[in-house]
Homo-oligomer: A and B are copies of this chain.
Amino acid sequence: MNPKAEEILGLKCYKSVLDVPDEVDFAVIVVPSRIVPIVLEECGKKGVKAVQIISSGFKELGTPEGVELEKKIVEIGRKYNVRIIGPNTFGLVYTPSKINASFGPREVVEGSIAFITQSGALGIALMGWTILEEIGLSALVSEGNKCDVDEADLLEFFAQDPHTKVVTIYLEGFAPGEGRRFFEVAKKFTKIKPLIVVKGGRSELGEKAVASHTGSLAGSDKIYDAVFKQSGIIRALYIDQMFEWAIALSLGSSPAGSKVVAITNGGGAGVQFTDAACDWGLDFWTPLPEDIQSMFRKYMPPFGSPRNPVDLTGQAGIEAYEGAVYEALMEPRIGSVAVLYCRVAILDPMDFAKAVINAVNRARNEGVEKSVVVGAVGGIDTLEAIKYLRRNKIPAYATPERAAAALSAIHKWAKWVGIVKE
């Protein structure tokens, strides 16, 4: 729609939504803020179910006029029962329907992670990041001023959305009253799907920064932390963690128990994983019982170590990795398997990746699934192998420590829903 054009980019253009002959489900409003009420009123009359208002110039201005204008559009929305996303949003993406109604990048990678952001510029930039890192999204919603639709509403949608497995939120805070409902909805949501949140404004100074950014009440962080725990929300401190953990939860299978085993070709990588596993509260099972040690001993030279970390040594080839990972998957006392790899001349990273994938597939063919994460250290070819593993539904990371953190997110959710006992 545009009052002045007959055609835009080869598509027929109407003067008003009221002129459109068909039904309209969803409208994107990008007109100067003072005209938004007029367009919204027309959408209401037309029976449009939901709109997204990209226009800014509302409450975020901090002026009485801005606040007044925002109140007005809320009233119009209620009158006609039109749900509003925004205003002051950069848009919305829903990959199952091939919708990208945002002014962010176009080539969003399809997947099953929904990303909700309360921050505009950071959200757009993170869209670019998901493309770079090949992080598959089902949806992306920039909330803007949240005059109507908020996180709680979106969680209710994503809870029943078959294309979404995990929800991530960059959250800064809530308007008065909004928080209580969010945590009520989140508590139900997390029993169905994992929810990972970065809460901006954790620190006292960050709280002040939030106040001058989105104007939300950041609130005492101790209270947030407690309520996050009670609601089964997985809290990430940093934005890269949020996405790395979402990859784990969107791609990976559930653990078969709490106990974690790490298989490596480098002792140092095993040590780093062990330390990080302890940092993140994983139940790292060491030393392994004698019978499991014997099982692993088959795949290593005499100077290897089967205690856990299971050190296949730098001599490990495809057979050693595939064999050890397969046996770890088939052993019912092991809950999750971390596979670590240091790029050495003897084993190409892509061969390593294929060995892991083969082991996972062989176990699956015998009816066994459990969570597997990979931490692979190396250069450009190792990065390619990490992406290849992700495309094959195995969460893979550039360091053992990140693999441990991601695995802990899987275990946290599994405990919350009772798949794994404490």
A 342-377 binary contact with B (CB < 8 Å = 1; else 0): 111100000000000000000000000000000001
A205 adjacent to B120 (CB under 8 Å)? no
A189-215 vs B, CB cutoff 8 Å, 1 = contact: the mask equals 000000000101111111011101110
Question: In the complex, A124→B349 CA distance in Å?
Answer: 13
Does A185 make an interface contact (CB < 8 A)? no
The complex places the Cα of A200 from the Cα of B270 at a distance, in Å, of 9
Q: Could you tell me if B213 and A119 are in contact, using CB atoms closer than 8 angstroms?
A: no
Q: Is A239 an interface residue (CB 8 A)?
A: yes
**Could you tell me if B268 and A342 are in contact, using CB atoms closer than 8 angstroms?**
no
Within the complex, the shortest CB–CB distance from A403 to chain B, in Å, comes to: 11
Picked from B62, B238, B277, B377, the residue with its CB within 8 Å of the CB of A276 is B238
Complex: A205 Cα to B262 Cα, angstroms: 12
> Within the oligomer, what is the number of copies of this chain?
2
Shortest CB-to-CB span from A177 to chain B, Å, is: 22
A379 touches which one: B119, B132, B265 (CB < 8 A)?
A: B132
Q: When the two chains form their complex, are residues B269 and A377 in contact, meaning their CB atoms are under 8 A apart? A: no
A278 within 8 A of B: yes
Chain B residues whose CB sits within 8 angstroms of the CB of A240 once the complex forms: 398-399, 401-402
What residues of chain B lie closer than 8 Å to A267, measured between beta carbons?
119-122, 209, 212-214
CB-nearest residue of chain B relative to A128?
Answer: B379
Give the bracket for the number of chain A residues in contact with chain B.
Answer: 35 or more
Selected interface stretch from A45-53, A149-157, A302-310, A328-336:
A302-310
User: Within residues 245 to 292 of chain A, which ones have a CB less than 8 A from any CB in chain B?
Assistant: 265-272, 274-279, 284, 286-287
Q: How many angstroms between the C-alpha atoms of A287 and B123 in the bound complex?
A: 25
A237 near B: Cβ within 8 Å?
Answer: yes
B125 lies within 8 A of A344 (CB)? yes
Given the complex, which residues of B lie within 8 Å of A237, measured CB to CB? 275-276, 279, 401
Residue A172 is within 8 A (CB to CB) of chain B in the complex? yes
A selection of 20 A-B contacts at a CB cut-off of 8 Å is A103-B345, A119-B269, A121-B267, A121-B314, A122-B267, A124-B343, A125-B266, A125-B342, A127-B379, A128-B380, A128-B381, A202-B275, A208-B274, A208-B286, A213-B305, A237-B401, A239-B272, A239-B399, A239-B401, A240-B398
